[in-house]
Chains A and B, each alone.
Chain A
Amino acid sequence: MSPTEEPTLSEYRRREQSITLAPLHEQLEERSEGEGSTQELLTLNFGPHHPATHGVLRLLVTLQGEIVRDVKPIIGYVHTGIEKTAEDKSYWKVIPVIERMDYLSYYFNAMAFCTAIEKLAEVDVPPRAQYLRVIHLELNRIMSHLVWLGTSALDLGAISMFWYCFREREKILDLFEMSSGQRMHTRYFQVGGVIEDIPHGFEEKLRSFLKEMPSRVDQYGALLNRNEIVLQRLRGTCPLDAETLLTLGVTGPLLRAAGNPWDLRKAAPYSSYDHFDFKIPVGTQGDNYDRYAVRLAEMYESVKIVQQALDGLPEGAHITDDRKIALPPRHELATSMEALIHHFKLVTEGMRVPPGEVYSPIESPRGELGCFVRSDGSSKPARVHMRDPSFVNLQATAPMVKGAYIADMIATLAMLDPILGGIDR
């Protein structure tokens, strides 16, 4: 008897009666030893309010004993209609709402959107702005991985990792606060560059952070890499080969853990990434341990990139001097009528962008983050779509955890690193 045919359905199950799990015989097909002799299946509701779901992810899980037979993710609990809202705002007012999609990688969201508009409007970004963007993007990547590491270790039962990771994360947020005035959702990236140059003291503070960070990652590794519990929970659990991952559209650390070195920063460099010397960490097994190891190694590489960007930071403007795109400097307003007109037009109406459609992909901490923008020539976008890596990667959950223990599913979810704000948008 399939769970959907139960005569007495619980309230949550009744509401989603149309959700069909795999047919019973398929689920029962492969039975390993020692699970007991009954054919009983249990449908378990997991989430949406559960700490191990990293947000408000809800899973309907069919269990045979401890073995997961089928998983259906149910999403939409934090759907806020950001793509719809964006259509009602002028281009530069879209940036703050876009940033709130994937709330751990706000610089990446802004970057994907800004590069799309820059492509449409054919704006050149000054070299200094490109380097400043790289610095903030890579700091954001470290910050995102730190939250992932802390919460994932928490899922495995290691509570102290959480405090260590958040200690370093605070330092990055302090840096963000210094350059933009905000700790999260900074709105630092603008179409054509960044809003402000970095302030005095930023470089010094960043250098001391860069000096400290690799040793901190060493410490995380020393705590976890050879930890017996971590190894037992991660090594060899829920592997998926690169071929299957590609058909599922999975990118980012998950794909690299399976041995495919695809990374847009190397493959199709944007924002001067080709100026920097860094490596792409890859795994071999594609299991949970590789997923963990790849992200940990990425933190070292990000530190290297920030270091090089800071050392080679070119002089010059931090934003384009195209007055149809970027606001004129404040001091010009007092003396130049033209600057005042441009300022007025940009603030009231916003920039006009030539009609057309572009898709602009970048490498976010979770994979390919693509922003599709359609412009109809007015000052508001006609369509903004984010191809969020979490949304696509979530589809790999079921193939990964089928046939695994329910405890391994928790570890896999942690290693999948889904951000529900990005999934639901």
Chain B
Amino acid sequence: MPDATGLELIAQELREAHGEDVVAETTFFRNQATLTVEPGSIRAVLAHLREQGYAFMSSVHGVDYYPHEPRLGVIYELLDMSRVDRIAVKLRVDSGDPVVASVTEEWPTANHQEREVYDMFGVVFEGHPDLRRILMPEDYEGHPQRRDFPIGGEPVIFTFNEGDSTGSSE
């Protein structure tokens, strides 16, 4: 892990390279470094970190910060295999218009994972080659992993009730 100072240095470099407001926040919690960045700059930030050695993207996942706005978060876990060093990059978008640039072109591993975040949270990844639901049925309504999506009360789909409504309409 970069230590707290290392994280600040990375943040400083990013600010110098991509403008003052690109890094919104740095968090160093339980020995884990997290950069919160401005959503529009995600591709530039990830490209910058890749040059610093964080060339392996181990995970992309979504978080719902309901009831706080901006509500939806996307976290990219980066790994530097030669220094065994991890850094997380986080961005937050408003639930009203959750659009983020897709990073699938540079990081092919993000393909399925961005689809999962889209499926579960409704974050739209602009430029994704194949943005479809991945785990839920195609005609499902709503994004079940959001915090205000209710648990239970859903009919089990068999052949005889296949045409009935699926999912809960928000």
Binding site for B on A (CB under 8 A): 15-16, 18-20, 75-76, 79, 81, 83-85, 87-88, 119-120, 122, 246-251, 262, 267-268, 356-359, 361, 368, 370, 372, 374, 382-383, 385, 387, 391-392, 394-395, 424-425
Contact = CB atoms under 8 A, between A and B. Distances in A.
30 contacts: A16-B138, A75-B134, A76-B133, A76-B135, A79-B136, A84-B144, A84-B151, A119-B30, A120-B30, A248-B109, A249-B57, A249-B107, A251-B58, A356-B30, A357-B29, A357-B75, A359-B32, A359-B59, A359-B75, A361-B58, A370-B77, A385-B61, A385-B63, A387-B58, A387-B77, A391-B112, A391-B113, A392-B59, A424-B135, A425-B135
Contacts of B109: 247-250, 392, 395
Interface string B3-16: 00000000000000
A88 B120 CA distance: 16
A358 B77 CA distance: 11
Given A18-B138, A19-B132, 11 more contacts: A15-B138, A76-B135, A76-B137, A88-B151, A247-B108, A248-B109, A359-B32, A391-B112, A392-B113, A395-B108, A395-B111
| Chain A binding surface, main DSSP class | mixed
A140 B30 CA distance: 29
B55 interface: yes
Contact of B34 (A262, A357, A383): A357
Given A392-B112, A395-B111, A372 B136 contact: no
Nearest to A122: B30
A306 to B, nearest CB: 25
**How big is the B interface, by class?**
35 or more
A160 to B, nearest CB: 36
Nearest to B56: A246
Contacts of A385: 59, 61-63
Nearest to B106: A247
Point out which of A15, A76, A119 has the most chain B C-beta atoms below 10 A from its C-beta. Answer: A76
B77 A383 contact: no
A424 B136 CA distance: 9
Given A268-B84, A392-B109, A84 B145 contact: yes
A75 B135 CA distance: 6
Nearest to A15: B138
A84 B146 CA distance: 9
Contacts of B57: 249
A425 B63 CA distance: 17
Given A249-B56, A249-B109, A387 B61 contact: yes
Interface in B76-97: 77, 81, 84, 86, 88
A348 B2 CA distance: 39
B130 interface: yes
Contacts of B81: 246, 262, 267
A172 B134 CA distance: 35
Contacts of A358: 29-30, 32
A313 to B, nearest CB: 28
Contacts of B138: 15-16, 18
A81 to B, nearest CB: 6
A40 B137 CA distance: 31
A370 B63 contact: no
Contacts of A395: 108-109, 111-112
A387 B120 CA distance: 14
Point out which of A249, A359, A395 has the most chain B C-beta atoms below 10 A from its C-beta. Answer: A249
Contact of A359 (B88, B135, B137): B88
Shortest beta-carbon contacts, A-B, top 8: A249-B109, A387-B59, A76-B135, A79-B135, A385-B61, A267-B84, A119-B30, A356-B29
B134 A83 contact: no
